[in-house]
Amino acid sequence: MTTPLASRVVIGAAPLTPAQVVDVARHGAPVEIDAGARARVADARALVERLADDPVPHYGISTGFGALATTFIPPDRRRQLQASLIRSHAAGTGPEVEAEVVRGLQVLRLQTLATGHTGVRPEVVDTYVAMLNAGIVPVVREYGSLGCSGDLAPLAHIALAAMGEGKVRIGGAPMDAADALAAASITPLVLAEKEGLALINGTDGMLGMLLLAIADLDMLLDVADLSAALSIESQLGTDAVFAADLMALRPQVGQAASAANLRALLNPSPIIASHKGPADGRVQDAYSLRCAPQVHGAARDTLEHARTIAVRELSAAVDNPVITDDGRVESNGNFHGAPVGYVLDFLAIAVADVASISERRCDRALDVARNRDLPPFLADEVGVDSGLMIAQYAAAGIVSELKRLAVPASVDSIPSSAMQEDHVSMGWSAARKLRRAIDGLTRVLAIEIITGTRALDLRAPLQPGPGTGAVRDLVRTVVAGPGPDHVVSDDIEAVTALVRSGAIRNAAYPSTTSN
């Protein structure tokens, strides 16, 4: 879902905004560190170095980690301790995650380092900046994070690359990290006391994926209103039920927004106007048509709650131990991913339901008993052609999977680290399944758009409204109108690409800027 490359993002002067994170993660925006933030980093590091010389043990500075927190580490072994921590925690397995997820990890960890609450040296911050700006994307694998003590394994793979070890990608091409750093004139890090922990204790992976999901759903929920409008219009439904005064009787914010979109898309519409009045003969439309703003609106409200949690998390300095403003080094539990994990799961529920109601509208359009005099399956030659029959199967199969993906990950804690980490968030897993769910929703909406635009054409000579008509015209640039059967898969992929790029939303709502 593309936008123009953003301008340089300054880190450390204020918490990053969701849009800034997406710009860096998805669109490759360059970053720089605020001068004041770099000074705070240096001050915190000076405190850590004083504590490193203290004969009294301090967790993470002169001790082991996790279940080994009471083991004192002599000064001559501490650099080896930091390197060993990163190497042992870089235990990810499975397929590589997407580059935008990795860049989200990088920039969010960099933001926490820049707060001055982690105790790393300024050169650590500088290295992360340089890697981002050079487009060095460490290889991070899908499995390994339990979402407590942060996204340990994913973040460890970032730190490993900063040390000049492991694998990275530049422009999609694989490369040894050491070679990538050398090509970019970046000196590999040799970690000092506290720095290993500071690089891996955070909710950055799950938060980054939440922010990317929010950006996607901002667009997809507008598209859902559009696809519903196509179905309502082409199935000769009514827009009367979306009246502002009816919406005001139930003052849900998201519902009102979706209803406003539907009113704008369906008024004026010659198709809608063609059957208004008592001669229409129907008392009310089916729920999948009539209740679209209630369902889409509930998803919008869920999205706003998720945005609130994400913005709060963007203001956090998640590390353990943490350097406080008054110079204390304190252990804490702020790395636990529950706040983020819960809303990731909540969004997966909303995504599944929006896809479900979309698929039901699509099915109605193909059923001759319910589609108001359109041909069965919108086929060209009934009996010879199957029309969009199997496109609906595809949508149904996706919806079935989305229901399974809506089962929450955050209730599935499993103990680790010799029972020291005996309750975990599974937030990373919640984020991974939400990404798959969003892909599924995108495809289901594309299928409804294909169905709705074909049905609009079959209503000729009646014409659709300006917004739905503009979408129909855009779809016709990649998908043929009604006619004999052809390979439907190509149509679905083409319209899915239009949805994902933001082109569909921009056609329906020309005054809206794509995220």
Cβ atoms of 109 and 159 closer than 8 Å: no
Q: ∠ at Cα 115 (112, 118), nearest 5°?
A: 70
Token digits for 179? 């070679």
Under DSSP, the state recorded for 188 is P
Token digits for 24? 């860096």
Q: In sequence order, what DSSP letters do the residues of 375-403 get, joined into one string? A: PGGG-SSBTTB-TTHHHHHHHHHHHHHHH
Residue with tokens 């519902």: 255
DSSP β-bridge partners for residue 119: none
| CB-side neighbour CA atoms (13 Å) of 467 | 25
SS3 367: coil
Q: Is 143 a catalytic residue?
A: no
Under DSSP, the state recorded for 26 is H
Q: Cα separations (Å) of 400 from 404, 405, 441? A: 7, 9, 11
Token digits for 149? 């003590």
**Among 88, 205, 212, 206, which residue's Cα sits nearest to residue 155?**
205
Q: Put residue 5 in one of left, alpha, beta given phi > 0 → left and psi -120 to 50 → alpha.
A: beta
| CA 170 and chain centroid, separation | 22
Cβ atoms of 465 and 272 closer than 8 Å: yes
Q: Which residues contact 46 (CB under 8 A, 6 or more apart)?
A: none
Token digits for 397? 């199969």
Under DSSP, the state recorded for 269 is -
Cβ atoms of 178 and 136 closer than 8 Å: no
- The amino acid present at 214, given as its one-letter code, is I
**Among 63, 66, 57, which residue's Cα sits nearest to residue 78?**
63
Token digits for 128? 């992360």
Whole-angstrom distance, CA of residue 72 vs CA of residue 278: 84
Whole-angstrom distance, CA of residue 65 vs CA of residue 71: 8
Cβ atoms of 334 and 295 closer than 8 Å: no
Cβ atoms of 318 and 334 closer than 8 Å: yes
SS3 10: strand
Which of 59, 143, 342, 393 is catalytic? The answer is 59
Catalytic positions:
59
